[in-house]
Structure 1
Amino acid sequence: MATFLLVGQFGNITIGQTLPSGIINAPPTTIGNNQSIGSNTTLNVRNSGAVGINFRAGLDSGSSTNVVVNIEGGSLGGGFWANRGSRVNLRGGTTSSVYVSDGAVFNVSGGQTGHVNLLVGAVLNLTGGQISALSAQQSPFAPYHPQINIYGGGIGDTDLQAGMRFFGGEFRLNGVEIGGGTIAIDGLSLLSGTLQDGRVFAISGYDVEIPLVETVIPAINPTPTVVDQGTVHLEQLRTGESVVLRDGGMIDGYVTAIGSSLLVEGGEFRGNCLLIDSELVVQQGSVDFAWASHGSVITLAGGRVRRATSDEGGVINVAGGSLPQGVYAYSEGIVNISGGVVGHSNLLKDSVLNLSGGYVSGLAAWDTSVVNISGGSVGDGFEAYPGSIINLFGDSFAINGVPVQSLSLGEPFQVTQRDVTLSGILADGTPVSFELNSSGSSQDHFFSASAVVTITRVEVTRLPGDFNSDGQVNLADYTVWRDSLGQTGAGLAADGNGDSVVDARDYAEWKENFGRSSASSASFEASKVPEPRSMAIACLLVAMVGISSRVRTIRSADNNRA
C-alpha cells in the first residue's frame, strides 16, 4: 500500500507516491516529481501552481477510472502521462511533453504545451491554445489510430496523420477551394483552411484520408487594414482579407496568408510571410522573407525583400527594388526578373527562371531547372549543374569570337562545347558573355558537360543610338556614325532609323540618347509593372517555346565559320 505524508491539507507529499483520492488543488499543494493520482481523483492546477516531472494521471496499469486533471495556470514538468481512464483539460498555463495513452482524453482549449505524443486509441480535442509539436502513433491494423479533432488553436511541427478531423471552412487543397467531406491526400499535398475559431491552418501530408467537417466560422472584415503607425503583430490573413502597410507602420510575426492580399507601400515587415493562393506586392518599404506557394504571386516593384522562395506554381516577379539574399525556387516555382537587383539565387528541381532585365549577382541552376535569359545580366557566379537547361535568346552569338552564322530566326541550337567563351547580344540589346568552364569555384562561371545550353536567334531590341551594340550610348557610337556618314545600303550599323542612309537624323538619335545604357532602359521599362498573373503567363509562354523538340547541336566553332 502506498504511503504518504500529510502536512496540513496535502501541504507536502512524499515524492514517488500516489496521491490520495479526492480533490487536490495546487496551490496550496506542491506536487513533486514522479507523483501520480488514481481513481476518483481531480487535480486542479491554478496560477503559480507547479507539478514536477513524470506525473501520472491514472495508474500505469490502466485500471483507474474517473481521473481528471484541470490545468488553469501554472506549469507542468516534462514526461506528463495521461493514462487510461483519465481526462486532462488544458485551459491555461504551460506543459512540457505530454503522453496520452489508449483510453485517455486530452482537451486543449488554452495555454501552451510542448510535444504531444498520442498513442493508438488516444483522443485529442483541440479548440484553442497552442501545441508546439504533435506525434500520433499509427497502427498497421487500420482503422486503429488516435482520434484528433481540431476545432481551433494551433499546432506547430506536424504532418497530416490518420485520425485527424478538421472543423471549420474555407478549405483548400493545394490552394484550390474545396468543400467538406473526406479528402484523400497523396504525395506532399497541402491542406489549408479556417478552423471553427477563425484561425487558419496549413499542413501537408501523404497517403492519408482526412475528414473535413464544415461548420460556422467567424465572418471577416473585407475592408483593408491599413498599418501606417506603430507596430502590429500579425499571424494570419483569411480568404478575402487584405492589409496595406505604409510609411510609419511596422508588421511583425510569422504570417500565413490564404486567399488574401498584402500591399507594402512603405514601412517595415519583420518576419516571415507564407502565401497560399495569395498576393504580395512590394512597392516601397521592406519585407524580411516571403514564400509564394500554390498559386501565389510575389511582385517586387521597388523597396526591398530580403529573401523570397517559390514552389508548387508560386510566382516571384521582380521588376525593381532589391532582393539581397536572392530567390530560392523548386518544385515548379517560377521566377520572372525584368529589373531590380537580385542576390545569388538557387533553382532546384523543376523550377523556372526567366531573366529579361535587371541584375542577378549569382545563379546556381540544378537538375531539371530551366533558365531563360533574354536580357539583363548575371554576375560571375553562374553555375549550371548536370541536368539543368540554360537558354539564351538574342543575336550576334559567337564562340571564342567566331560568329555563329548558321542560326535561323527562332530556331534553337545546342552548344555542347566547354571551356570556351560564348558571347552575343541579348534580346533587350544587352551584351552577354559566359565562360563555359567545365570546372571551377562558385565564384566563376561553371557549365557542366551534362547541362544543356542553347542559343536562339530572335529580333534584338537595340538601344537607340547604340551603334556598336555594346549596351551603352557614348562617344564610341559617335565614332561609328562619323566614320559611316553618307553611306547607303541595308544593315548599316549607324543607320538608326532604318532608312538605309547614315545622315543627320541618325546623329540626332545618338544625341538624344547619349548617356543611356541597357540597364537604365530596362529600369525605365520595369517601372511599368504589369499585372502579376498576366506577367507570369507571358513569361511562361516564352519559357515553353519548343526548345527540346527542335534543338540542333553546335559541336565546334570551326563548323560555324562563314
Structure 2
Amino acid sequence: MQFSPRVRGLLAWLAVGYLGLPALAQTRSWVASSDGQWDDPSRWSAADPPDTLAESARFDVFGAYGVYFPPGAERQIDDLTVVRGDPSFRALSPGEATLRVAGDAVLGVGQGTPQVRLVRTRLEVAGELSLAPGSRLEVDQSGLAAGATRVGGGVLASSTTLRLLAASGVALGDLTIAESGNNDRAGVVNLELGTSAEVAALRIASDAPEAVGELSIAGSTLRQLDGGVAHIGREGGLGVTGNGSVAVFSGGELSLYDATVSATGSLVNSGGSVEVRYRLAIVGGRYAEPTAATLTLGPNAELAIEAGGEASFAQSGLTISDSRLLTVSDARLAVNGGLVGLVVSGGAVSIAGDSTLSGPVHVRGGGLTIAESSVARFTGDYSGRPAMGPGLALFEAGLTPAGVGFAFGGDVELADAARLAVSLHPDGWTNTLLADGTVALGGALAIEPLGGEHTPAAGDAFELVRASNINGAFASVDAPALADGLEWRIEQRPGSLVLRVAEDGPPGDFNGDGLVDAADYTVWRDTLGSSGPLTAADADDDAFVGPGDYSAWAAAYGQSPVAVPESGAGSLAIAALVLAPLARGLPLFVAGFPLRS
C-alpha cells in the first residue's frame, strides 16, 4: 500500500516517538552528479524525494554538484549518508533552508572521502554527525546542530576537516576530534569569521597513540557547557607520538568549564581570550601565550599545572584574585610578560613537588603555600608576603621581603644569583626576612638608603634576617655610603643577622664603640664561624670569623681613645673574658690556639 509523504511522516513519528518502535526508513539515493532541486523527483531513486522520517537520503556519486532548497524550506529525514563525491547543499537566495535529520549523518563510507558544503542551509542532526577520515564539511553562513559530533583523524592523503565560516547557532554536542589517525594528517575543526558555537564534552586526540587533532578559533567564539569535560591530548608514554592542540587567535574567545591538557596536548592563546569557569588542568601538557592575550579565571576557578606541565605567559601577566586558585605541582610556570608578572591578590597559590616559577612574583594578598618536602624555585624577582607552609623557598633572583609580621613557613635559600633587598627606615624598622625554618644566605645583599632627613649614626642597628637558624654568607654587600669615621658592620648569629652603624675603631673593636674590651669578645663569640663581607668580628679581613680575629682582639685589648682601666679593673675584666667562654663550654683561643677547659 502506498501512502502520501505526509502520512508516511506521521507513521514514522508514531513509531519512534509514541510507540517506541524503530522506524523502517526507506533509502532514497541521488542519481547523478549534476545540480538539481532537492524536491525534484527525477533526481532521486524511486522518483521520490526524501522528506519524511520514514525516508533516508544517500549520496553516492562522484563529482561536484549542487543540491538546492527553496528559500525558507524545512525538510526532515531519518538518516543522511554521503558516501563520496562533493555535494553542496544550498538554499536559493534569499533566506535559509533547514534539513533535519532524526537519526545520524555520516560523511564518508569505506574509502570514500566526500567534500560537503552547506551554504545558507542549516543542518540539524538529532543523533551523531560523523566525518570519516579524509572527509570534509564546510558550513558557510549556515547553522549546524548535532547530538554528538565526531571528526575522524587524518589519513595519508588528507586531513579530516570541519570548517565553520560565519556560522551561527552551532551546537556540536559532545565533540570528538581524531579518536584515531596517524602522525601525518590531522582531524581539524576550524571556527572562523564570527562563528558562534558551543560544545558539551570535548576530546581531541585523547585516545589513539598517533592521533593528531586540532581545534582553532579565529575571530569566533566557542563555549563549553556547564558540566562538560574536555580532554586535550593524552598521557605520554612509550610509542605515544600524537598531538592534540587548541589554538585561539586574535578575536577568538574560548570559554572552558572543565578541561585537562595532557602530555601530548597544548592550548595556545595567541592574541585571543580564554575563560576558565571551573578548572583548567595542565597535566604534563602545555598552555602558552606567545603574544599579548587574556586568561580569565572565574570565581572559585582553578588553574592547575601538574606532572611536568608548563604554562607560559610571554607578553601578559597573570592575576590570582579573590577566591581563585593556582596550583603548581612538579611543574613550571613562566610569567614573563606584562609589567607585574604573577600577582597574588586575594587568591591562593599552592606549590608542591619540585616546581619552578619564573618571572616576577608579587604576593599582595591571599596566600602562597609551599607543601611539605617540596621545593619552590623562584627564578624571577619576588616581593610581598612570604610563602606559608613547611617547604623550601629557593630564590635565584631578587627577594624583597614584606617585613615584620610575615614569615616564611619553612626554609629559605638564597642561591648564588639571588639578591636580598632590604630597606632601612629612620625608626629602625626594616622589611626583615623572617623564616620559621633555616635561612641559607648567598648571593648579594642590597641595602636601600635611609629615608627622610635621618643621617645614620654610630649605634644604629637594623635586623635584616631572623630565623630558627642562619648559615652561609652573602658574596657581596651593596650599601649606601656613610659619613667619615663610620662603617657598616654585619653581626651574624645563629638566629639573627643585624646590620649596624659602627665607628671606624682599632682592630678588635667588634661592636664599633671605639673600645677594645669585653663587649667585643661577646660579639666575636656569638658570630664565630660566620663569613661574608662587612662581618663585624672580622679583624683580619679574611671574610671569616675565626681564631685569627680572636688573636687580633687579644693583641689590641685595652686600646681606646679614652683612659685604659686600672690594673685591678683590667685584671677583673680579663678574668671575666677567660672564664666566660670556659663557663659556656666553648674553646678559648689564645694567639690562634684553642685552650680547652
Query: What TM-score bracket applies, with the shorter chain setting the length?
Result: 0.3 to 0.5
Q: Larger Cα Rg: Structure 1 or Structure 2?
A: 2
